[in-house]
Amino acid sequence: MKLHEVEEVRACLSKGRTLFSYGKDWYAVELLKLCVRGETSVADLKQSAFGRLFDKQRVRQWFGSLGKTKVSREDLELLWPEEWESYRLKLDAFDGWTQTSRKGDQAWNLVLQLNLNEADARLMDAQFEDRSDDPFEWACHPVHEGRHRTLAWARIDLDWESGEALIEEVQNDRLREVKLLLDRARSLELEEVDRWGVTVKTSFLEHYWEKRLRLSRAVWDEAMVCATIRFIVGELGLRRVFFHTPESGRTYKDYGYSEPPRSVYTDLPKKFCFKRVAEMPEFLRRRFKKRPQVDFQLLEF
């Protein structure tokens, strides 16, 4: 995208907090909300491209609790996960040059941040006197620098002409950094460790990892992709969503010194019913006519 396109999207949407609650497997209900039209037969949903979502026991239980053979979006709004965490969604911009599929003046990505809530902010305020330097994130990444720090983010490229979006990246720093420091402190039997010039007590790391981040570390990737699809389809109105494969990522992006976990670009899209296709986003095909054909993953509504 061009910078002005990113800024236009950000300007059109709410500038206040957007709350997003998420629990294990909740993406299945959110996906089905997006594809329900009026009253829809549950049997038809099971036969659709999203039918595999009903393989999950939680989904069968949620739909069974409605006691209906036909459901509407309003019916699905009555459902709620058994256990959930609340997050704040925020939009940002990113120009990563080599890390984006398009280059030059079209190298800008829209960033959707999954930021932590007030309970996390209060805990961090009490632990760190100066919140400007967060020991659990990389300043070069598209993270929120306010009180409510970023758990994870997704980078998005989109094109209004073709009505398509591409999920460029799904990533988090916080969980990796907290676990890295905690493992180090435990293995060396340290009472405190240092990261980016910030001293962190081992007792705090243990509480933060085991208690505060307990649910988030189990669902962060699901929550991030769920929020991203809901944003692209539900708010922007685009109905064709592409996701990189490991091969397309290598072809169009520069991973640098290390590639991302393969599961993020294989297992995770499969969970969300993306299908591997010998097709690419139209806005990439127009720009890279001579590139070799590589598969992408596609979700259509």
Which of residues 80, 98, 118 is at a domain's end?
80
In terms of domains, do 232 and 190 share one?
A: yes
Domain end (from 42, 61, 80): 80
pLDDT tens column, 10-49:
998 766 679 999 999 999 999 999 999 999 999 999 999 9
Same domain? For 8 and 141 the reply is yes
pLDDT exceeds cutoff 80 at 58: yes
State how far the Cα of 275 lies from the Cα of 243, in Å rounded to an integer: 9
| For range 219-237, the mean pLDDT | 97
Beta bridge partners of 34: none
Identify which of 173, 195, 175 has the alpha carbon closest to the alpha carbon of residue 184: 195
Report CA Rg, the chain. 20
**Domain membership flag for residue 19:** no
More confident call, 72 vs 261:
72
Q: What is the pLDDT of residue 261?
A: 85
Query: Are 143 and 109 in the same domain?
Result: yes
Residue 20 covered by a domain: no
How much is the pLDDT for 256?
64
Residues 240 and 300 both lie in one domain: yes
Taking only the tens place, the pLDDT of each residue in 130-165 is: 888 899 999 899 999 889 999 999 999 999 999 999
Q: Residues 93, 76: one domain?
A: no
Q: pTM for this structure?
A: 0.95
Residue 96 has pLDDT above 80, yes or no: no
Specify the long-range contacts of residues 197-205, CB closer than 8 Å, at least 24 apart: 197/133, 198/128, 198/133, 198/134, 198/135, 200/127, 200/135, 201/127, 204/127, 205/178, 205/181
Q: What is the mean pLDDT of residues 240-269?
A: 88
What per-residue confidence (pLDDT) applies to 287? Answer: 85
Question: Any idea which of 94-98, 196-200, 272-276 has the lowest mean pLDDT?
Answer: 94-98
Residues 149 and 274 in one domain: yes
Q: Give the integer Cα–Cα distance in Å for 166 and 86.
A: 26
Instruction: Determine the structural domain holding residue 109 and report its residue range.
Output: 1-14+89-301
Measured in residues, the chain has a length of 301
Contact 269, 192 (CB under 8 A): no
Q: Are 106 and 2 in contact (CB under 8 A)?
A: yes
Kindly state whether residues 66 and 100 are assigned to the same domain. no
pLDDT-above-90 percentage for the chain: 84
In a domain? residue 39: yes
Let me know whether 105 and 180 are in one domain. Answer: yes
Whether residue 118 is found in the same domain as residue 245: yes
| Total domains present in the chain | 2
Query: Is 168 among the domain residues?
Result: yes
